[in-house]
């Protein structure tokens, strides 16, 4: 892989990923490879393989703790799991979720994010956002905290929206997601994450953005892809979303499955059109 930044091959080390690294990948048209992790053992595998961004997601409430949603996850839970993952990472950029009701106003968001960075070792926090939270993103950014804004399907709002469903399919919803992305980027978001939005809408937002855009169920035109680690290993017991692909097949080891996912993202064989949503 050529360009201003080349991701290391499996089994090699490389310079630590930074925000400028992610921006250079976007500028060079090199896909950013992201996965979740919740403990040191899996995190070490991801780092060794060369995953660019590791997210300690509040999905741990479902895949680790056994809850039906992410709602029960607390800041203490997130700090604990982020600490475990941080110990194992040498290269990957580490992002941690701000859990439900931990960022209701700028003061609370600063306190929660501060714990994830100071105690947990995260480099960036992710929040499920909309335009009305611009002041929260601005407060974090002004205080030197990198922010990833999560748009589209927002699992922490599942009770309000009636469950997990694709977002942005109607004209009104699409316009709102675009406006949310613009407002939060203007407020200081360093990354955007689009979940379960139509592929054409994701492409439109990516073209308009000035920061890297990561997708999950958002088609192939974004700057990077993220999946839940347990999903690519076929470990999740719930109904499999259409964007999930099991890479632990054909007798592969866990490390080989992670490497296969990373290669599929980088050579753009994943995601395929069948993994995305239409308007």
Residue 90 to residue 146: CA distance in whole angstroms: 19
Contacts of 206 (CB under 8 A, 6+ apart): 213, 221, 222, 223
pLDDT of residue 4: 41
Residue 79 to residue 121: CA distance in whole angstroms: 8
pLDDT of residue 155: 74
| pLDDT band per the 50, 70, 90 thresholds, residue 241 | confident
Give helix 254-266 / helix 40-49 axis angle, nearest 10°. Answer: 50
| pLDDT band per the 50, 70, 90 thresholds, residue 13 | low
The CATH number that applies at residue 120 is: 3.20.20.60
In the chain, pLDDT over 70 holds for what percent of residues? 90
Residue 24 has pLDDT above 50, yes or no: yes
Position 249 in a domain: yes
Considering its fold, how many domains does the chain have in total? 1
Look at 35 and 157; give whichever has higher pLDDT: 35
Exactly one of 138, 158, 185, 195 is catalytic; name it: 195
pLDDT of residue 219: 96
Tens-digit pLDDT profile for residues 71-106: 999 999 999 999 999 999 999 999 999 999 999 999
The question of whether 175 is a catalytic residue gets the answer: no
pTM as predicted: 0.93
Residue 240 has pLDDT above 90, yes or no: no
Position 247 in a domain: yes
Tens-digit pLDDT profile for residues 163-180: 556 776 689 999 999 999
Position 100 in a domain: yes
Position 251 in a domain: yes
Q: Where are the beta strands (DSSP E) in the chain?
A: 32-36, 53-56, 93-97, 124-128, 147-152, 191-195, 213-216, 224-227
Average pLDDT over residues 187-195: 98
Position 231 in a domain: yes
Position 8 in a domain: no
Q: What is the 3-state secondary structure (H, E, C) of 164-186?
A: CCCCCCCHHHHHHHHHHHHHHHH
The domain in which residue 203 lies consists of 19-275
Task: State the chain's mean pLDDT as an integer.
Answer: 92
pLDDT of residue 43: 98
| pLDDT band per the 50, 70, 90 thresholds, residue 275 | very high
Average pLDDT over residues 158-166: 64
Position 12 in a domain: no
Of 46-50, 80-84, 221-225, 241-245, minimum mean pLDDT range: 241-245
* Geometric angle at alpha carbon 257, from 23 and 251, rounded to 5°: 165
Yes or no: say if 167 and 189 are a contact pair by the CB < 8 Å rule.
no
Yes or no: say if 96 and 56 are a contact pair by the CB < 8 Å rule.
yes
Position 5 in a domain: no
């Amino acid at each position: 892989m050529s360009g201003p930044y080349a991701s290391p091959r499996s089994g090699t080390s490389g310079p630590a990923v930074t925000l400028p690294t992610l921006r250079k990948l976007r500028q060079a048209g090199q896909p950013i490879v992201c996965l979740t992790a919740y403990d040191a053992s899996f995190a070490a595998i991801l780092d060794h393989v060369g995953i660019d961004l590791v997210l300690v997601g509040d999905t741990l409430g479902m895949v680790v703790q056994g809850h039906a949603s992410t709602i029960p996850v607390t800041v203490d839970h997130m700090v604990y799991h982020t600490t475990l993952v941080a110990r194992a990472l040498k290269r990957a950029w580490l992002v941690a979720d701000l859990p439900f009701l931990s960022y209701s106003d700028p003061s609370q968001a600063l306190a929660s994010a501060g714990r994830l960075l100071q105690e947990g070792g995260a480099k960036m926090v992710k929040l499920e956002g909309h335009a009305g939270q611009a002041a929260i993103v601005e407060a974090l950014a002004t205080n030197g905290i990198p922010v990833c804004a999560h748009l589209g399907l927002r699992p922490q709002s599942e009770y309000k929206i009636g469950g997990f469903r694709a977002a942005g399919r109607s004209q009104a919803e699409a316009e709102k997601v675009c406006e949310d992305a613009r407002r939060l980027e203007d407020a200081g978001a360093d990354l955007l994450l689009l979940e379960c939005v139509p592929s054409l809408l994701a492409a439109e937002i990516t073209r308009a953005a000035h920061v890297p855009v990561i997708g999950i169920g958002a088609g192939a035109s974004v700057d990077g892809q993220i999946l839940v680690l347990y999903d690519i290993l076929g470990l999740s017991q719930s109904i499999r979303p259409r964007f999930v692909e099991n890479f632990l097949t054909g007798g592969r080891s866990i490390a080989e499955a992670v490497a296969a996912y990373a290669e599929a993202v980088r050579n753009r064989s994943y995601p395929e059109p069948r993994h995305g949503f239409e308007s």
